[in-house]
Amino acid sequence: MKNIIEAINEKTLVFDGAMGTTIYSKGVFINTCFDELNLTRPDLIKEIHQGYIDAGADVILTNTFGANSIKLKKYGLGGKCKEINTAGVRIAKEVAGDKIYVLGSVGSRLKLGSIMTSENQPEIEESYHEQIKTLVEAGVDGIMFETFFDLKELLLGAKIAKSYNTPIIASMTSRKELETPEGLDIAKALQKLDKSDNIDILGLNCTIGPHAMLSAVKKVIDKINKPLVVQPNAGSPKKLEGRTIYMNTPEYFTTYCKHYIELGVKGVGGCCGTDKTHIEDMAKAIKAITSSKKKIEIIKSESVDNTEINVTPTIEKSNFAKKLFSKEHATTIEITPPRSTDLTDVINKVEQCKKAGIDAINIPDGPRASSRISPLVTALMIEQKTGMETILHYCCRDRNLIGMQSDLLGGYAGGLKNYLIVTGDPPKLGNYPDATAVFDVDAVGLTTVVNNLNHGLDIAGNTINPPTSILIGVGANPCALDFEKEVNHFYNKVKAGAEFVITQPVFDTDSLMRFIEQINKDNMSIPLVAGIWPLVSYRNAMFLKTEVPGVVVPDSVIERMSKAKTKEDGIKIGLEIAIEMKEKIAPFVQGYQVSAPFGRVECAVEVIR
């Protein structure tokens, strides 16, 4: 097994969740020495470790956070430091085998609010030597200093640990104000750790929940060079019938962990209040989106030697294409394929859109990796039964490259002219967590495939004549956490042959305008269709904010939606927000894609009217 420093630089690692609060949840009294359980209840500690490994953790921490002579003294266990630490490592390694990293957990010697002085430093140094020497000799893969608030003490501990020639992770905690308890800015604290030769990996953990931790990550990630591990609490603790409860759900926790990864964090795990359900949900999502599978490289070809192949100009590819390049706004409404074989309701909704003068119907491909009737068949049936053009979302998740090319050719032969090429949500973000994903290519690669088909070449380089004349659309997220990365990814899609773009639902118009200004500045603009989602309730707004990848709902919008007292109020306020947004961005976009929340086509039509 590789050194953990090498491993974390190569891929994102999933760390385990809380030990202390999980022990507490098992009915162990709070005044118990949790570290001594390595001796008195080893099966309980082993069960917790095994739960995290089964959940998908790549790294587990020994139950030794407070197993030092200073902290053990108050339990009358000062002389059992070596025995407790050795047992802690043995238990962890028994379940970890040779595929899971075991880190020795080391906590502060100081009480919150106290500092290291010349008087207490000798005792602190001695206790570090004793614990760390024991952990290393017992066979840990590294030392993790957890939940430190005193920078001076942490640097001392790291220096001592490095003398035992082992990898070092140094993790600090922060208050909600993103400062240490002593008032030091958390970014400055991590910068000091980043400069230390005794520290290999940095960390942020404990005290704050997923949302506040996101702010901390944003504050520090660009100011450090070493890998960063992030382990938030499961929200703020609540007292319930004498017990301390952390209220954040695994889904909420996972949503923020994905954001950390997007920002560049290399390791994610949980602290107080998180358990194996949080780690399992997060691990599935993280491992799906950070898959190291190598994509098939597709070479773009603008033309072939055969002069008899006629390439269709973009504006002539479909009625929707003509509308995009006109002075009017193109309009499209998103209708999701049903979870049944009956398309009657879908056809009726499309007829409503047709009467309202909508230009095209958007058909999502497996939204949030759920199982529905084939979007390709849905699109074909809509066009055949209503005459309405569709924009078929086509993702790279479910089919290999040969299957995707067959679908593209077959759909085009059936009359489908407009496609939105997307990478797609991993199945582990959806309703079928054990399904596998293919992802031979991403959206850039598949855009290249379609562009080549439009120029008379298939994926093997064989001539296709007549070529396809597919209008190629791609997605973009103006609110992406890593704006520069999103813009560069979009530019690669344009270079691959994208002809129009549809954005994620946008609730922050400033972010959309920033995106438009940037692509115009770089001469990379193509017709832009803005995604608009008419909210119907406060709950709907919160779901989009916390659960839907890529969607950012500002607090100002949440506040407006919270004022809805009835179902009708929610719909009314949501429509007002959507219409205001549409009017504000009108001069800068070429069209609108309006979602029909919960199938409410009338809401989408009202926004466009």
What are 419's strand-pairing partners?
A: 392, 472
Question: Which of helix, strand or coil describes residue 487?
Answer: helix
Task: Kindly report the backbone phi and psi dihedral angles of residue 289, in degrees, each rounded to the nearest multiple of 5, phi listed first.
Answer: -80, -15
What are 229's strand-pairing partners?
A: 203, 267
Whether pLDDT at 60 is above 60: yes
pLDDT of 434 reads 62
pLDDT of 292 reads 53
Output the pTM of the full model: 0.75
Whether pLDDT at 549 is above 70: no
> Structure tokens of 417?
């002219």
Per-residue pLDDT of 501-526, as tens digits, reads: 999 998 999 999 999 999 999 999 99
pLDDT of 31 reads 84
Whether the CB-CB separation of 468 and 408 falls below 8 Å is answered with yes
pLDDT of 428 reads 55
Mean pLDDT of all residues in 1-8? 94
Phi-psi map region of 123: left, alpha, beta (phi>0 left; psi -120 to 50 alpha):
alpha
Helices (H) and strands (E) in the chain, counts: 23, 18
Whether pLDDT at 92 is above 90: yes
Per-residue pLDDT of 352-388, as tens digits, reads: 999 999 999 999 986 555 568 999 999 999 999 999 9
Whether pLDDT at 239 is above 70: no
Whether the CB-CB separation of 229 and 203 falls below 8 Å is answered with yes
Per-residue pLDDT of 99-152, as tens digits, reads: 999 999 999 998 877 888 888 899 999 999 999 999 999 999 999 999 999 999
- The domains located in the chain, with CATH, are 4-289 (3.20.20.330), 315-608 (3.20.20.220)
Residue with tokens 């039964």: 385
Mean pLDDT lowest among 90-99, 407-416, 431-440, 600-609? 431-440
604 alpha-carbon distance from chain centroid: 28
What is the secondary structure of 409-477 as a DSSP string?
HHHHHTT--EEEEE----GGGTT-TT-----SS-HHHHHHHHHHHHTTB-TTS-B-SSPP--EEEEEE-
pLDDT of 71 reads 94
pLDDT of 47 reads 97
> Residues 6 or more apart from 174 whose CB is under 8 A from it?
180, 186, 204, 207, 208, 216
What is the secondary structure of 246-265 as a DSSP string?
E---HHHHHHHHHHHHHHT-
Question: Quick one: pLDDT band at residue 293, thresholds 50, 70, 90?
Answer: low
Q: How far apart are CA 45 and CA 67, in angstroms?
A: 14
> Structure tokens of 142?
């590294």
pLDDT of 585 reads 95
What is the secondary structure of 376-419 as a DSSP string?
HHHHHHHHHHH--EEEEEEESSSS-HHHHHHHHHHHHHTT--EE
Whether the CB-CB separation of 275 and 22 falls below 8 Å is answered with yes
Q: Which residue has the higher pLDDT, 286 or 35?
A: 35
User: Sign of dihedral through CA atoms 372, 373, 379, 383?
Assistant: negative
Q: How far apart are CA 98 and CA 91, in angstroms?
A: 14
Whether the CB-CB separation of 419 and 430 falls below 8 Å is answered with no
Percent of the chain with pLDDT over 70: 93
Number of neighbours of residue 309 by Cβ within 10 angstroms: 17
Q: How far apart are CA 403 and CA 555, in angstroms?
A: 43
Per-residue pLDDT of 173-201, as tens digits, reads: 988 889 887 788 999 999 999 999 999 99
Phi-psi map region of 135: left, alpha, beta (phi>0 left; psi -120 to 50 alpha):
alpha
**Mean pLDDT, the chain, whole residue set:** 90
pLDDT of 255 reads 84
pLDDT of 245 reads 56
Whether pLDDT at 275 is above 90: yes
Element (H, E) at 289: helix 276-289
